[in-house]
Chains A and B, each alone.
Chain A
Amino acid sequence: MAAAEGGKALSALLGGMAQAAYYGKADITEELLRGQLYPEAAPEEFRALRAKMGGLLQSIASADMDLNQLEAFLTAQTKKQGGITSDQAAVIAKFWKNHRVKIHESLVNQSCWDNVLKNMNWRVDLKAQSRHDDQINTPVAIVEMELGKNGQESEYLCLEFDEAKVSHMLKKLSEIEESMTALTQTT
């Protein structure tokens, strides 16, 4: 295969594998990839290529390699027996630079098994009648939160907050923010 052509095909192959492994496109099969990208290659030859590239991509994604680690890793691969060519290394490097953030995000999501906050809406109502006779026209916030696990149906939680409760919430959220700042400063 000519280097440029091979480069394009390899890049597309990596893209296809990422779609299947990280972006949830389950219908991208080996057959599809071979037919589209390497029509002249024999099935076993293609399978071997796919396995090799897949393994490399997995290692890189699992370690969430930065550029230094990536260079060291790929260089080592070019020196191995049955490793990769330097052209292939260049294609892989370019691919990872472009897709690193998105792939990492996908891996993060895959590890989140609890409910997540999918969406949040709110409005402020004026209560015409209040709990206590001495307070009329008190404003309240009505907050709607969409909660759910990845890929499962959502639960809608609708909550009422008066001014005091919003203050309480803000106080707690500030505590979280402080902890977060302290955490990121020490890592």
Chain B
Amino acid sequence: AVDKINLIPQDFFAELCEQIIQHLNHKNPGINTVELCQRLQTSGIEVNVDDLAKITNIVSFLFSTAARSNLSTEELSSALGSTVNTLPKHAVQVIRHVWSEQGKSVAVSENQRHMTTVGQFVDIKWKLGVAMSSDTCRSLKYPYVAVTLKVADPSGQITNKCFEMTVPQFKNFFRQFKEMAAVLETV
């Protein structure tokens, strides 16, 4: 995956690093790897989402380790130079720059806690449909709700999870969230 960093133009890589460090600073809900990947592919660059995800994890790890060890920009540069010697020069430049601008405010303790499988809810998109007819039943006529949940995984990457609900399932779903709200209020 580190080889693939060579393929990414400097401005895209800078954008990625910006998103990563902003996520570590709790300034954004997550990192849009899918969207970045699509833009890269449109520009003719052959990277897939997996590669980009791996690169994101590596850079994220770099920044959070640097935060934990309280590294200055110089210290980070020399650490990069000695250990990760396959990083292309433009990548090192970007990392240096982003770190010197925003590295100070990266909070460390939070990252440890989120090394679990709990994701963060970011947003929900929905559509309401009525299935009219199918090959097994000409008169289906059942309404359903299709939702897409935007979720940030522990490393900050945003993914979409889609599913459908029938009307009774939706009502139950709604009811559960109302109960949750009630409990959160009283705690």
Contact = CB atoms under 8 A, between A and B. Distances in A.
A29 interface: no
A91 to B, nearest CB: 23
B180 A122 contact: yes
A183 B126 contact: no
Contacts of A176: 126, 128, 145, 170, 174
Contacts, number: 138
Interface string B119-146: 1110110101011001011111111111
Interface of A: 61-64, 104, 107-108, 110-112, 114-117, 120, 122, 124, 126, 129, 131-132, 139-143, 147, 157-161, 163, 165-170, 172-173, 175-177, 179-180, 183-184, 187
Given A166-B180, A183-B128, A160 B118 contact: yes
Interface of B: 26, 107, 109-110, 113, 117-121, 123-124, 126, 128, 130-131, 134, 136-146, 149, 151, 161-167, 169-170, 172-174, 176-178, 180-181, 183-185, 187
B170 A111 contact: no
A159 B166 CA distance: 22
B184 A163 contact: yes
B26 A131 contact: yes
